[in-house]
Structures are given as structure tokens and as C-alpha cells.
Chain A
């Protein structure tokens, strides 16, 4: 049935006049790509909900029952084209519907016959940095929306900055409501030129600008030739279909070990998801932080004992000799190792109302590895000027740089080179909430850091644990956090 399915799906996407019905998602036949994840950003009223609603509607991702509810709920709220109010499709939570606001990141799903898509839909106003950072962390591409009449706003620049910071390297500028700007080509060209410059200044070269009317569905899924004969570029969906997946994994083999599997009879396997590079039996690997070396004996999965695994594969790795490996360790290519050390520099996005407090000890989780870390913010990004200003504290929604000091060895790649092994979250040890997302810039080695000191220049004192806590809270200890190493009675407050 697959060839039939394909042609049917293509047809239903091309013919705009038939009643779009529920759930007729394109193509049950196999898709040749992973789902593309993208994020949409825009200021309030730029038409973001309409755009996403339009994407879902025109690709027939709206289910029968949803469509029925939509028609009923939007009586009287229909737009000029007699279509339902798309925003109703998106505002799912009761509280939101009542207040007419969107409070959190929502994920939407749609597909064409070529590819499937996951949209992180983030609100344009409240807590936008926090929500955008969350949505952007897994996105391969960002769709930035502007109102054709208003052009680029300060908000646009902020959104682009955050997207770039989170590692997104493909932008689509959707110049929306072009119908209200008389479909004027000059206007569109001017806006896209201005945006291209912003993107370039952020290091993003892959930019596509598209004139669209989300309301009328022009250049979203279907072409808008009639109204814009001057535009011969792709539709939004065409760009999304062709977008590259940012694997970003330019490092060697990485396997953060999630669990050790010992079902018996001498089987011992290390389970995890390959976070970089590839591996095959016979390859030499190093176990970090111990530094013990071994060779790969087998790659086990439920289906097959495989002769190779690549980034993204969830596998069970068997080594050729008994070595000590625990959850949180990393198995890596022997000749392309990640950075290991106790001091790193990172960028942070503060997610909690308490902000990020200098010298406070947090839990840091990266991959399957969780450890104590002392965090000292050093600068914060002014999203208006684009400058990094000196800072010692990050307030909620703040973006900053920080020094991280660990009590035991940390293992990272720079986020630039590996999004999996270069990312982490910070967890508040009291509330246990996730309070920051972080991206590693690199290892820090400088004078004043404990590890940089020769043995002769170090001394130790021993204190009761409760005094230690108090000591670490003092101004003195905080301002010398990088020079103090804390040992033992470890993780008393863990359980």
C-alpha cells in the first residue's frame, strides 16, 4: 500500500479547496529522516498561533475530534475566511483558555509525506527567555516571525540572540501579514536585508526569508503565487523539509553510561545513547574519569549484535576486559577524548525566580553524570545592547557566563562541538528544581585555581560538616571558591 499512500498524501497537501479533515496525516510509508525539531518565536500578535495552526491545518494534522471542537468553540470567532480560530487549537490548558494566554512551551506534531516535524511553541511575552531556551535546546532551526508592517523589532533581535546562543544555526524569517502590507516586495526585501545582518552578527549564515500570510495560508504550506508573483523562493514547509539536522557532533565517540547491565552468566554491558561519533567492535576506548583503556567486544541491541553504532543509537556496549565502569562515567574514543578537569567556563540561562547565586553549590547533571558544583557568574548578557556586562549574580531569565568549580572530575566537550556532551542543567540542592541550563565553553586553567597549585602550596583543614556549610557561605569562601576544594562526607544530603 505504500506507493498509494504516498500519492494520496501528496494530493491532499496540494489541493487546498477540499475540506481539510482530521488526522489524514501524510504517508504511513517510511520516512527517510529523523523528525525535524524547530522553534517558533515572535512578539505577541505577530501571528504565531495562526502560523502554527495553519501548519497543522494545511498538513491535516488536526484530528477529527479536535476539528469538531474547534468548529464549535470558535463560533462567532471565525476569521474572514470562515476558518476556525487557530489559536484555540493551541491553547490547551484550561487556565490558559480562561485567561487567553500561553504560559509554557507546548509541543506540536505534523508531517508531510517527506518528513515529520516537532514544533516547540513558546509564548512571546512572559518568561520568554526561559521558555525559548527550553524550546531551542533541542531545536535544529528557528522560525522568527515579524509583522510586515512593523518590521524588525528589538524583540526580534533578542529572539535571534537566544536562538543563536542555544546553538541554532538555521533561521527562517517569516515576514507575516504581508497581505496587510499590500504584498509589497520592497518592504519584504528591506526587512529581510536588515534581518540577515543581525543573523550574520550572531554567526548564523543560513537564513531564508519568506513573505507569508499565516491567515490566508500563503507561502506556508501552499504557494502564494497569485498575490506575490514577485516571490519565487520556497514556502515555509519546503524550507523545513530541506533543513539539515544539526548533529553538531564533531567529536569522537562518546557514550555517557546510563546503567550497567549484569543479567548474569558473565554478561556485563554498559547501556547508554551514543552522544558523538561512531563505534565498532575492536575499537579502542577509554573509560573516564578513571582513564582505564579497553577495546570494544560487542555492540548489543535487542534486535541484533551489531557491527557498528552511530550517534543517537541506544546501545549496550561490551568491553573486552573487566574494567570498573559506573553510571555517570563516559566511554570515549581513545584518540579523541573529551576535556576532563575540575574547572570549566560555561554560559548559563537562569530559569528560576531565585536566579543564580554566586558561590552557591548546586547539583550539575550532564548526560547521566551528576555532581556537585560551585557556580560563580562572571558576566551577564544585555539583550538590548548585545554587550556582556560584568556581573556576579544572574536573575531569572538572565543569560550569563560563569565559572564552574567541581569537587571531583568533570567530563565535557565544548557545546560548540557537541550539544550532548557540552550541555548541562543545574539543580538547586534544597528545592531540587532545575534552576539553569548551561553550555560549556571549555576547560578553565588559570592561576588561583586549586588544580593549578603545586602540592607544596596547598594545605588542608578538617571541619565538622555543619561548620563547613557555614564556612562555605561566607563572603571570603565565596570569593575564593575556585581555590578551595571540599572533600568528604560526600553527598550526605543526597537521599
Chain B
């Protein structure tokens, strides 16, 4: 993944060489290479893909692993610390990637799969204008795309310098950059806008992205840890802190870090003469309009679908996540026997959920191959 552009933030980032373990000759490979008769393709190298590959390797199933970037890791590569326990993203990456160093795994970096064709039990994986590979089963783990905040023009992303997204802020933290105000000192105030590109008919997105509330809590705390004097406000519609330890982190943000949570959607942002950001909203619990000027406005962007295009082979982006045939019991894709979904390409989920989903897809693929090859009991 390319480092995101942040022309206005002074960067301390050292050029990080591609993860050393990723070149095929530098890996501490485990497991004997046995003659394998079936091969599974895993498309996508994020947390879900890494988990699926690790599980398949542990079952001694041969894997062709495709990743469009020049390194695996997915979104994890640009994160700082993970909620709710503040585990460094690099540590989580290390744990997940460890399981993928195995003799039965062939990595294909820089390979984007644009369509998948199922034909008489064999599945072909195709690039833009040529076939890239073949497999007996495929796990799609193509993840999600960050919502493009420029579509919400009223918040001024890409127009005002001091409006950034939660994804930008993660890289600021991860790179050890400073979040300074226009005069080069610590910011006096920062506001977060929840539900940007989620739950919003104006941009055709009806679903909740599930993780932006807790991301907002995590990042608000991080700002308060780095800048003790900075006032932090979170403007939410509904607080959705659903996971293990999330509600506790919400409370910690209030009690220990003095983050102010205001129930009301920000309706618009504008820039004042000094380049600070003026915010308009309503405190719906007080029934009174709000005006606030902040040094940084952070948009908690939602997750947009990324893999329906791969599935349909149309190369078009559809505004929906891919549905499993029977989401209650598994992640097989309807009408595409042998194709399974893992991670955020099936809908917004956290990293532990994506990992569980990747492992589950690996088991489903193994079951499918067993049955197909007549090994079922």
C-alpha cells in the first residue's frame, strides 16, 4: 500500500524497506513440501487473507496467495495501535504473517485479480487482460476501501488543509508525526465527525460501518495522551461500541481523558481566516445549535465495498458488499461453487473478526475439497 499523501504534515517517516520476510528467499520456511494434489487460491493479503493462508498451511493444503500491492498486511500496514488493547499494529502483523511462512505457500505479490471464473470444478483467476492462475477453490479476502470523503463536500476534505480522515490520522500516529495547529504549536481543540460515508442516503450508503465509533474513541484518547491540553469533541448520531472492551474504552475516554461526546451530526464545516475549521451542529439532547472552532477536524470514514467487482468480473464497483449464499452458516458465494468470502469483503468487521472469518473460510474450503474429491465420511 502506498503511504498516503499528507503534504501539510511534517513527516518523520523513515523510508521503511519492504518487510524483510517477504522476499521469497529470505523466509524462515517451515514444513516439508509434499506433493499436493489440490491448490487453494487466496486473493488479498490483509488480516483475513493472512489468517486464511495460515490456516490452510497448517492443514498442509497448497496455496497460491495473490496480493495486488508489493507487500502483504493490508490496512494493518498503515495503522498505529489497535483498539481496544492498544496492541501495536506491527505486532499484530508479525503474529499473523508468521503462520504464512510455509513450504506449501506460493506468494504472488503485485498481482491484482480482476475476475474469477468457475468452470467444471476448476476456477480461473484473471488479471486485467490475461489469466493469472488456476485453483480448486478460492478464498476472496479483498477487504474494503476507505470511503472517499471528498464525496461529502460540506465537510471540506481535500478543500481545507485541516480536515483529515481517520485513516490519515492513523498514519500520522504510526509515523510519529505531529498534529500541530496553524501556528506550529499543540492544537487547542480537535473534533471528530462520526458516520462519514455510513448511514447516509446522501451518498447512497445505508449501512453502519461498525468500527468508526470505536476508532473515534481510540483516536480521541490518543490525542489526549499526546496533547494533554487539547480539547477533544466527538459528534455522534448513535454510539455503537459493540465489541469486547469497547464500552470500557468509551468510558475511559470520558473519565480518564475528558473527551466530550456530543449527540448531534455535524452539518457543515468551513475555514476561517486563520485556517482553523468552524463547525456547525446541533446538540440534540439540549435542543440547541452548536458553533465550534477547531484546529483539526477528523472525519471517521466508513468502509466501502471492494470485491464485488472481482466476483462479477465486470470490473465495476458496486455499492454493496458481497453476500454469502447462507450468511447464517457459512461464507460460500452463491452460484460460484468453491468460492468463499473472508474478512471485510463480506461487510465491515474488526481485525479479530476478519481473522476468525479467514480461518473459517479456510476450513470451509478444505471441507469443500474433501467432499469434491470423495473423501467425505
A binds B: no
Q: Which A residues fall within an 8 A CB radius of B? A: none
